Amino acid sequence: MEFAVDQHVEQGVNIVKVSGEIDVFSSPRLREMLLDVIEKGPLRLVVDLGDVTFLDSTGLGVLVGIYHRLRARNGSMAFVGANERVRRVFHVTQLTKIFVLHDTLEEALAAEREDSRAGS
Amino acid sequence: MPAEMPADTKAAVRDMVTVKLPADSAYLSVLRTATAGLAARLDFTLDEIEDLRIAVDEACAMLLAQAVPGTDLECQFELTGDAMRIAVSVLTVDGVEPSRDTFAWTVLSSLAGDVDSTVGADDRVTVMLRKRRGAAGAQ
């Protein structure tokens, strides 16, 4: 599957769907695209990893970098649809302690609504 | 070569496979595919195959960061009956062993069994890993 990033806004949340393999080759493009997305859209970001077939530490580094940028601007970041193999990489790096991995987009959007209400 | 081998023959197998690619991240997916194919040949489980794919990717990614431009990345696979030993190496500019205080090393050492690195006299840096079929993986 070709590496690709699609973005749309739903219920005030920036939803980014990533497809393909995230590795040292594709990570710079992912970083560039995510920076562009959070520059132009809402700072509440949900990254859909449902079509990601491979994720390594380089990709995780990009996601952590974006997370820090969002946090600095009172934004948020969550994930949805990660398969077991992708989840494993989050687990071994203990990033599940700071990132929420939702099963469905509906669940992620509901959590965002809840956070938004709690923060307002 | 037959696709299936009798179990007693498989236990005695000790093949060496060397894959040499340009030290360029664009070729990493090729190496991951080769790794998966070789691991499948040793009857590793799907989870073990995926662990090896990620481990080799991590080893290569950390080496590519300091590879001399225009040189090759060499990956040597040693296949024995129930284990695979992999050595990935590149010629580097500074001859520095990969830092062990990184996400990459954490992932590598969690998913592969034994991991180590060395620096040769010509500033060739090598990352070695070994995974045994059926060994409990670190979580």
Domain that holds residue A82: 4-119
Query: Inter-chain contact B29–A21, Cβ cutoff 8 Å?
Result: yes
Question: Could you tell me what percent of chain A has a pLDDT over 70?
Answer: 98
Whichever domain contains B67, its CATH number is: 3.30.565.10
Contact in structure between A55 and A89 (CB atoms under 8 Å): yes
Q: Quick one: pLDDT at residue B10?
A: 53
How far does A96 lie from chain B, in Å, by closest CA? 13
pLDDT at residue A118 greater than cutoff 90:
no
**Domains held by chain A: number:** 1
pLDDT in tens, chain B (139 residues): 445 555 555 556 689 999 999 999 999 999 999 999 999 999 999 999 999 999 999 999 999 999 999 999 999 999 998 899 999 999 999 999 999 999 899 999 999 979 999 999 899 999 999 999 987 554 3
Q: Quick one: pLDDT at residue B122?
A: 92
Structural domain contains residue B83: yes
Contact in structure between B108 and B52 (CB atoms under 8 Å): no
Structural domain contains residue B10: no
Structural domain contains residue B8: no
pLDDT at residue A8 greater than cutoff 70:
yes
Contact in structure between B75 and B52 (CB atoms under 8 Å): no
Q: Quick one: pLDDT at residue B136?
A: 59
Q: For residue A89, what pLDDT band results from cuts at 50, 70 and 90?
A: very high
Query: Inter-chain contact A56–B57, Cβ cutoff 8 Å?
Result: yes
Q: Quick one: pLDDT at residue B6?
A: 57
What residues contact residue B89 under an 8 Å CB cut-off, 6+ apart? B63, B73, B74, B75, B76, B120, B124, B125, B126, B127
Structural domain contains residue B46: yes
Overall average pLDDT of the A44-63 stretch: 96
Domain that holds residue B111: 16-132
How far does B47 lie from chain A, in Å, by closest CA? 8
Query: Inter-chain contact A56–B111, Cβ cutoff 8 Å?
Result: no
Structural domain contains residue B40: yes
Rg (CA), chain A: 13
The pTM of the full predicted model, rounded to 2 decimals, is 0.88
Structural domain contains residue B126: yes
What residues contact residue B29 under an 8 Å CB cut-off, 6+ apart? A21, A23, A25
Asked if this assembly's ipTM is beyond 0.95, the reply is no
Residues of A with CB under 8 A from a CB of B: 21, 23-25, 54, 56-58, 60-61, 85, 88-89, 91-93
Structural domain contains residue B7: no
Q: Quick one: pLDDT at residue B88?
A: 98
Phi-psi region of A21 (alpha: psi -120 to 50; beta: other; left: phi over 0): beta
Query: Inter-chain contact A92–B102, Cβ cutoff 8 Å?
Result: no
- Give the best residue of A88, A94, A97, A99 to mutate against chain B (max B CB count within 10 A): A88
**Domains held by chain B: number:** 1
Q: Quick one: pLDDT at residue B138?
A: 44
Structural domain contains residue B70: yes
Whichever domain contains A49, its CATH number is: 3.30.750.24
Q: Quick one: pLDDT at residue B7?
A: 55
Q: Which residues of B touch A23 (CB under 8 A)?
A: 25, 28-29, 57, 61
Alpha-carbon gap, residue B25 to B28, rounded angstroms: 5
